[in-house]
Structure 1
C-alpha cells in the first residue's frame, strides 16, 4: 500500500471515528435534554399531575402533546398512560392522550434542525425533513380522533386483539435496549457537573447543556457525513432508507425498536437531510417507520401489568400501535393524502428560512403556547 493510500485510509478511519463520537454525543444530548425536562417538570409524578386535568378528549389530546413536548419523550408519556389506564383512567381519555404524545414527540427532531440555522440551504432542508413528521402526525390526529370519538374504532379493534393476546403478554424486550446503558454514564456526568445547583435548576441546566450539545454535534456531523458518505457507504445507506418507501418504513421501525426512541431515530436523520445526503421525500417514510417502532415502549409497559387490569393496559398499548399503523396505511398509502405533509413542511421551511423568528415561533407556539391556550379555553 502506497503512502498516499495509507494517508487516505487513515483519514477515512479518523473521519468515521469522529462521526461515531458525534452520533454518541447526539444520543447523550437527547438523553440529557430528556432527563433535564423530567427533573424540571417532576418526572412521572409531574406527568400524572398534568394528566389529572384531563376532562374531555380534546383537553386530553392537548395534555398528551404538551406533556410529551415538555418531557421530550413519548416513551415516558405512553408508559405513564398505560399505568394510569391500569389504575382506572378511562380509555376515552387515554386514547387522545396517546395521539397527543405522537404530536409532542416530534419537537426533538425539530429542535435538532435548528442546529443548521447558520446555513440557509442546510436549514431549509433540515427544517422541512423534521416538520414533515409534525404535519403527518397532526394530519393523522385530525382524521382518526373524530372517527374514534364517533365510532370508537381503535378502542374496539385493540380490545379485541388484547382479549386474544393478553395471556401471551408476559414477554419483555427491555433487555434489547442497549442505547440507554451506553448513554446513561455520560448523562450522569452532565448531571453531576451541575449538581451544585438547587432543585429544578439542575434540570434546567441539563436542558440548556443538552441543547448546546445538539447544536454543536449536528452542525459538525452534517459536514463530516457529507465527506464520508460517498461510494459504497452511500450505497449502503441508500439501500436502507433511500430505496423506496417500504425499505424506509421498515428500517425506521427496526432502528426505533432497537433504541426504543423515535426522537433519537428521527433526530439522527436530520443532519443527513441538512447536508443533502437525503431529501425530505426520502426521510419521510423513515420517520413513519419510527412512529410505528416507538409503540414498542407502551407494549413493554403493558407487559408489566398483571391481574384484572392487564387486558385494558394491553388495549391502550395496542391502540398506540394501531393508530400509527392505520395512519401510515391511509395517509401514506393514498397519493393525494401523502403529498399534504410534504407540501406543508416544505412551505414552512421556506418561510422559516426567510424569517428565523417564524421558525422559533412555530416551535414554541405549536408545542407549548397553543396547547396551553387551547386547554385553558376548553376548560
Structure 2
C-alpha cells in the first residue's frame, strides 16, 4: 500500500469515526465508553506485542545484556537500555530479582533498578507521538509523557551518589527484607493484565512462528507500534467527546482533586494493572485532549512509580535461590520510589522542576518534530550506549 492509499484509507476511517462519534454523542455515550475500553485494551496489547517481539528477536540472549553491569554506572545504563528495549520495567525488575536470587550482588543490582525507572518512561513518550499531527495536542501530550522522564532522571541524580557513598538503599532494603519471611509462597500468576492480553499477543506470535526469530520479532514490534499510533489517535478523539460534564467531574475527583489523591490513584491503578508504562500511557491522551493539566497528571505519574513495585515484590516470592536477597532488591525498588516522591515532591524548590522541564520540551518539540525523535533516540539509546562503551573501556 503506497502513501497516497494509506492517506485515503486513514481519512476515510477518520470521517467514518467522526460521523459515528457525532451520532453516538447525542445517542448513547455508553457505546463510546465501551469503545474507549476496547481501544485501551488494544493499547495494552500493543505494548505487550513490542515486548514479546523483542524477546522473540533476542531469544535467550535478552538476559546477556545484564552481564555488562560491572560497576554502578554501567548498571544504571544497562537497566535503562534493557527496559527501553523490552518495554516493561516490570519484566526487567523481575529479571533483576531473579538474577539477585541467583547470585548477582545487590550493590550491582541497585543501579539497574534505577535505570529501569528511566527506561520505562519511553513507552508513554512513544505513545505521545500519536498526537503529532495536532501541534497544541502534541505539546501537551509530549510534556505529560516526559515529565515522568525528568522526575526519574532527577531521582537518579539525587540517590545514585548517596547509594554509592553510603549504601543507603541497600541498607534500608536489607532492614525491610529482614522483617518479612515468605515460605512456600508464590504469587507468580497474579498478573491479570498479562492474562487478559495473552490471547491477542499469543495469536500474533503464532502468525509469525514460521519466520525466523529475528524477522518475526521485528514484525511483532512494528505491529505493536502501528497499533499504538492508531489506538491513541482514536482514543484522543473519543475522549474529547466524553471528557465533559459528569465524566470529567468523576475523573477530576480521582486524579485532579489534589496531589495526595493523584498519587493514591496512580499507585492503586498501577498495582491493579502491574504496569507503570500502561498507567502513565493512559494519561497521555487525557493530557493531549486538554482534559487534565500537566500539574494534575504529575502526581498520578508519581503514584505509578510506587505502584509498579508490586511486580518485583510478587516476583521475589516466587524465585528459586536466595529469597532473602530477592526480597531485599524488591524492597530497595519500593524504597527508592517512595523516597523519590517524598524528597522531590516534598521539597518546594524541587517539586516542579520536572514539570517546568517537560513543559519547555513539549513546546520545543511541537515546533520541530525531529526534536522529539532525537530526544527519544538520544536519551534512551544513544547516550546510554556511549556511556556504556566508555565505562567498559575505563
Instruction: Assess same fold via TM > 0.5.
Output: yes
More off after superposition, 8-17 vs 52-61: 8-17
How far does residue 11 in structure 1 lie from its aligned partner after superposition?
3.1
How far does residue 258 in structure 1 lie from its aligned partner after superposition?
0.7
Q: 2:153 aligned to 128, 133, 138, which one?
A: 138
Output one character per residue of 1:127-173: Cα deviation in whole Å (capped at 9) or x when no partner.
000000000000000000000000011111110111111x1465544
User: 2:50 — aligned with what?
Assistant: 33
Query: Do the aligned residues in 1 keep the contact of 2:187 with 2:317 (CA within 8 Å)?
Result: no
Aligned ranges 1:285-364 → 2 under 5 Å: 285-305=299-319, 309-364=322-377
Equivalent residues, number: 370
- What CA distance in whole angstroms lies between the structure 2 residues aligned with 1:238 and 1:148? 38
Structure 2 residue 233 is matched with structure 1 residue 219: yes
- What CA distance in whole angstroms lies between the structure 2 residues aligned with 1:162 and 1:33? 33
More off after superposition, 248-257 vs 188-197: 188-197
- What CA distance in whole angstroms lies between the structure 1 residues aligned with 2:205 and 2:281? 22
Query: Do the aligned residues in 1 keep the contact of 2:187 with 2:315 (CA within 8 Å)?
Result: no
- What CA distance in whole angstroms lies between the structure 2 residues aligned with 1:86 and 1:103? 23
What residue ranges of structure 1 are gaps of 5+ in the alignment? 1-5
Structure 2 residue 287 is matched with structure 1 residue 273: yes
Query: Do the aligned residues in 2 keep the contact of 1:176 with 1:258 (CA within 8 Å)?
Result: no
Query: Do the aligned residues in 1 keep the contact of 2:204 with 2:220 (CA within 8 Å)?
Result: yes
User: 1:87 — aligned with what?
Assistant: 102
User: 2:89 — aligned with what?
Assistant: 74
Output one character per residue of 1:299-357: Cα deviation in whole Å (capped at 9) or x when no partner.
111111356x2111110100000000000000011121011111111111111111111
Aligned ranges 1:79-228 → 2 under 5 Å: 79-165=94-180, 167-168=181-182, 171-228=185-242
- What CA distance in whole angstroms lies between the structure 2 residues aligned with 1:356 and 1:279? 22
- What CA distance in whole angstroms lies between the structure 2 residues aligned with 1:323 and 1:213? 33
- What CA distance in whole angstroms lies between the structure 2 residues aligned with 1:177 and 1:189? 19
User: 2:5 — aligned with what?
Assistant: none
Query: Do the aligned residues in 1 keep the contact of 2:97 with 2:330 (CA within 8 Å)?
Result: yes
- What CA distance in whole angstroms lies between the structure 1 residues aligned with 2:312 and 2:195? 20
Q: Root-mean-square deviation (CA), in Å?
A: 1.6
Query: Do the aligned residues in 2 keep the contact of 1:47 with 1:80 (CA within 8 Å)?
Result: no
What residue ranges of structure 2 are gaps of 5+ in the alignment? 1-22
Query: Do the aligned residues in 2 keep the contact of 1:41 with 1:71 (CA within 8 Å)?
Result: no
How far does residue 9 in structure 1 lie from its aligned partner after superposition?
6.6
DSSP-derived class of the 1:304 partner: coil
How far does residue 10 in structure 1 lie from its aligned partner after superposition?
3.8
More off after superposition, 122-131 vs 16-25: 16-25
- What CA distance in whole angstroms lies between the structure 2 residues aligned with 1:69 and 1:41? 14
- What CA distance in whole angstroms lies between the structure 2 residues aligned with 1:222 and 1:177? 27
Q: 1:52 aligned to 67, 71, 91, which one?
A: 67
Measured at CA, do residues 312 and 117 of structure 1 come closer, stay the same or move farther in structure 2, by a change above 3 Å? same
- What CA distance in whole angstroms lies between the structure 2 residues aligned with 1:152 and 1:345? 31
- What CA distance in whole angstroms lies between the structure 1 residues aligned with 2:309 and 2:247? 30
- What CA distance in whole angstroms lies between the structure 2 residues aligned with 1:47 and 1:140? 27
Query: Do the aligned residues in 2 keep the contact of 1:110 with 1:130 (CA within 8 Å)?
Result: yes
User: 2:34 — aligned with what?
Assistant: 17
How far does residue 33 in structure 1 lie from its aligned partner after superposition?
1.2
User: 1:371 — aligned with what?
Assistant: 384
Query: Do the aligned residues in 1 keep the contact of 2:25 with 2:241 (CA within 8 Å)?
Result: no
Q: 1:65 aligned to 65, 69, 80, which one?
A: 80
Q: Normalising by the residue count of structure 1, what TM-score does the alignment of the two structures yield?
A: 0.94
- What CA distance in whole angstroms lies between the structure 1 residues aligned with 2:334 and 2:213? 37
How far does residue 234 in structure 1 lie from its aligned partner after superposition?
1.0
- What CA distance in whole angstroms lies between the structure 1 residues aligned with 2:363 and 2:135? 10
